[in-house]
Amino acid sequence: MNDPKALHLTVLERGGGTETVVARLCEIVPSFRHMSLEALGAWPGSASGFLRALHTVRAYRPDVVFCYGARAHVLACAAWPLGGPVLVGSIRGEIDFRGSRRLAEAIANRRVAFWVANSRAGLGDRRGIVIHNGVPSPPESEPPLLANLARPVIGLLANERPMKGHRFLLDAWRTAGSPGTLVFAGRVSADLRRDATRAGVLCTGHVPAGPLIRSLDLLALPSSSEGFPAVLPEAMSRGVPVLATPVGGVPELVRHGETGYLLPRSQWVEFLRSAERRHLAETGLLGQRHVLRHFTEERMAERFRRAARLAASRGRVSA
């Protein structure tokens, strides 16, 4: 069966993990197209920008529209108020549709055939399909970005947001005795950059993720809330062990003590104080095998193909 024409509407024109995964997905599935709301001028923007976005998405004439985020649902419902392509809602994590966003969910529920989430935790009690984020096999020739740093090198790759835990990790690392080198990659506030730099943290800004991950002995993600963060399988596919909090869909990827480390924040200081590089490396290899077997880009693409076919052929269904 041929793949139906599928449009993936997202927010976050650049820098978001979901945006990166969806853009790559649409590169490898010819019948899928990716459109960012910011690139379309829909938000932020004027009423005329919103109308241009409506015209652009209508002109593509998709069979199925995957909507990422509340504003994408609103745009899709406005573009086809009386029918048209089948809408598939996408829940990115347990933080979606809180507060006023529930209004968008209520509106979308009237048109959405089913929901797609990148974790079981993100799907919750909604009817739908779980499609975990997949990663491509990393390049064989990918030299580390950083060298000559005190080991172990611990990295947090995320734009600063309260849920990501930058301040917590900084405090935990200092309390543990500042072992090795701590690296913050991505966008951080001026206040955090100042405090981190004073403590000896290396703040790199936005740099290529793969080469930076190759520089690490441990990737840390002390989030208080997550869906299925793409950076974890990216690190694991390169043999870099991960330390994360057991929130959202993270336990669906990481098995504590086997393919990585899952610990509540209350236990992070002791772990950072006592972690041995040899044991970290062994865990990293097990995590690599796990991801390259079960969380591949090809598997993710095929699951999305099936979801698109299901939506196009059956419309409103119980998936």
pLDDT tens per residue across span 64-81: 999 987 788 888 888 998
- Contact partners, residue 126, CB within 8 Å, separation at least 6: 89, 91, 115, 117
User: Is the confidence at residue 93, as pLDDT, over 80?
Assistant: no
User: Is the confidence at residue 107, as pLDDT, over 80?
Assistant: no
User: Is the confidence at residue 44, as pLDDT, over 70?
Assistant: no
Q: Residue 42: what pLDDT?
A: 67
* Pairwise CA distance, residues 272 & 275, whole Å: 6
Model confidence at 84, in pLDDT bands (50, 70, 90)? Answer: confident
Model confidence at 15, in pLDDT bands (50, 70, 90)? Answer: low
What mean pLDDT do residues 163-180 have? 97
* Size of the chain, expressed as the number of residues it contains: 319
Q: Residue 97: what pLDDT?
A: 44
* Pairwise CA distance, residues 130 & 180, whole Å: 38
DSSP string, 105-139: HHHHHTTEEEEEESSHHHHTTSSEEE----BPPPP
Model confidence at 106, in pLDDT bands (50, 70, 90)? Answer: low
Q: Residue 315: what pLDDT?
A: 57
Q: Residue 133: what pLDDT?
A: 92
Q: Residue 99: what pLDDT?
A: 44
User: Is the confidence at residue 95, as pLDDT, over 50?
Assistant: no
* Pairwise CA distance, residues 316 & 290, whole Å: 35
pLDDT tens per residue across span 184-198: 999 999 999 999 999
pTM as predicted: 0.87
Q: Residue 317: what pLDDT?
A: 41
End-to-end, the C-alpha distance of the chain in Å comes to 19
Q: Residue 74: what pLDDT?
A: 82
Sheet hosting strand 153-157, strand order edge to edge:
202-205, 181-185, 153-157, 218-221, 242-244, 261-262
Average pLDDT value for the chain: 89
pLDDT tens per residue across span 116-152: 999 998 888 778 899 999 999 999 889 999 999 999 9
- Contact partners, residue 5, CB within 8 Å, separation at least 6: 31, 33, 60, 61, 62, 63, 64
User: Is the confidence at residue 202, as pLDDT, over 90?
Assistant: yes
- What structural domains and CATH numbers belong to the chain? 6-134+297-314 (3.40.50.2000), 153-294 (3.40.50.2000)
